[in-house]
Amino acid sequence: MNKEKVKNIIKTVLQFILNPRLLLCLGLAWIITNGWSYVFFAVGTYFGIGWMAAVGGGYMAFLWFPFTPEKLITLVIAIALLRFLFPNDQKTLAILRKLHEKAKLAVKNRKNKTEEQKKTRKSRKLIILSALAVLIIVGGIWIAWGNKALVTTNIIVKSENIPEGFDGFKIVQISDLHNAEFGKNNKKLIDDIKAAKPDVILFTGDMIDGNRTDIDVTVNFAQKVTQIAPTYFVTGNHEAGIYGQYHGFKARLEDAGVVVLDEEYDIIEKNGDKICIAGINDLGFFVTGSYDQNDLNEFKNALEELLKETKDYYTILLSHRPDLFNEYVECDADLVFTGHAHGGQVRIPFIGGVFSPGQGLFPEYDSGLFIENNTQMIVSRGLGNSRFPFRVNNRPEIIVAVLNAE
């Protein structure tokens, strides 16, 4: 094949691929065959419609496979649109006819293959489909297991401000339960908390779920947990979302023995030393109408007032949102326990979480311990799910933090 012929072929291919009419038709066809899944996923996630988010997300995951029927369907629709919308584009249609003839010839040649070749091809297809089926089944089992298999994360908190009497003080953090149950009546979760032998237990919000509220699950859990160690609670955005029911929920938690910290604090003593456990309501309780900077200012003012009252003690602050880390640092909080981020929902090895409310894609504060100036913040990946109905590579987490007086 001479150079001129190669150049003509390349030129023809580029003209064909970059034809704006063809690109337009391909775009329209893509919207028809694939675009609906993005709409389903976005609407389902935003409005908390679990089945819609799951269907849209599942179809979007299916699109990652290199060879799927929808790609052929998209191409067929694009060609049909091209013929309907641009019947005078004879050059492009001529190329398509030529491709069609070649495809027909390929089909004819395929029919002439020997029976042995057909059997071999069928065997390969069966192997590939079986492998894909196994991968899908194993992947589904792995995801289901990963949403119920609890993991305990141990964190050492070191500070020269921790009193000697609290050296070795053990804290269990439970966050973002969202009505989830691990074993009958949360037996697995309770057993793991008992095994940690905590001095205190902290609930850092979203213990209920605003989309499918079941207060009884959390209250029954709280009744058992308070028998293990003193238990403290602050609100999350989902408690803010059920504001009309919140006061009843709060009363039932207090009846179960939980200390609810609504811009309040409690001083605890051990070995002759004292520290303070303080809590502030979720930012959602400070929002009036549409969220704006004034709401954040009100939250920060309330936080400053709270920490002024506890400034004589090493203070453990309970606050739901890690994306307010700058505010905690500016208010000189000692140690903050947060949740909310769900670990980024889907975790990629060596990268971290993919998405978090309040932080968006690839959140900075998704899991673990963060330190800036005199402030340390622990972010729990949480336990349950809400609008996005499942986790990937992101097991439900119990935090066990141990204070280390330097």
Per-residue model confidence as pLDDT tens digits over 15-47: 555 567 667 777 787 888 888 788 887 887 777
Residue keyed to tokens 């004589």: 312
The count of structural domains within the chain is: 2
Please identify, among 84, 112, 144, the residue that sits at the C-terminal boundary of a domain.
144
User: Starting from the edge strand earliest in sequence, which strands make up the sheet with 375-379, in order?
Assistant: 264-270, 273-279, 314-318, 335-338, 375-379, 368-372
- What is the band of 101 on the pLDDT scale with cuts at 50, 70, 90? low
Cα–Cα distance measured from residue 352 to residue 370, given in angstroms and rounded to the nearest whole number: 14
Domain that holds residue 108: 3-144
Instruction: Give, for 208, the enclosing helix (H) or strand (E).
Output: none
Same domain? For 183 and 86 the reply is no
Better-predicted residue by pLDDT, 152 or 23: 152
pLDDT digits (tens, 9 = 90+) for 281-306: 998 888 876 677 888 888 999 999 99
Do 133 and 219 share a domain, yes or no? no
Residue 245 shares a structural domain with residue 308: yes
Q: Please give the radius of gyration of the chain, using alpha carbons only, rounded to the nearest integer.
A: 29
Task: Give the pLDDT of residue 402.
Answer: 96
- Are residues 159 and 28 both part of a single domain? no
Domain boundary at 92, 119, 144, which? 144
CATH number of the domain within which 214 lies: 3.60.21.10
**Distance from CA of residue 281 to its chain's centroid?**
22
SS3 content of the chain, % helix, strand, coil (to 5): 50, 20, 30
Report residue 385 as tokens. 């799910």
pLDDT of residue 196: 95
Regarding whether 196 and 93 lie in a shared domain, the answer is: no
Question: pTM of the full predicted structure?
Answer: 0.69
Q: DSSP letters of 66-124?
A: SS-HHHHHHHHHHHHHHHHH-TT-HHHHHHHHHHHHHHHHHHHHHHTS-HHHHHHHHHH
Question: Smallest Cα–Cα separation from 204: which of 122, 117, 268, 278?
Answer: 278
Q: Are residues 244 and 377 in the same domain?
A: yes
Same domain, 110 and 17: yes
85 and 231 housed in the same domain = no
> Among 95, 120, 144, where does a domain finish?
144
| 236-255 pLDDT per residue, tens | 988 888 877 888 999 999 99
Q: Are residues 360 and 334 in the same domain?
A: yes
What's the confidence (pLDDT) of residue 131?
A: 83
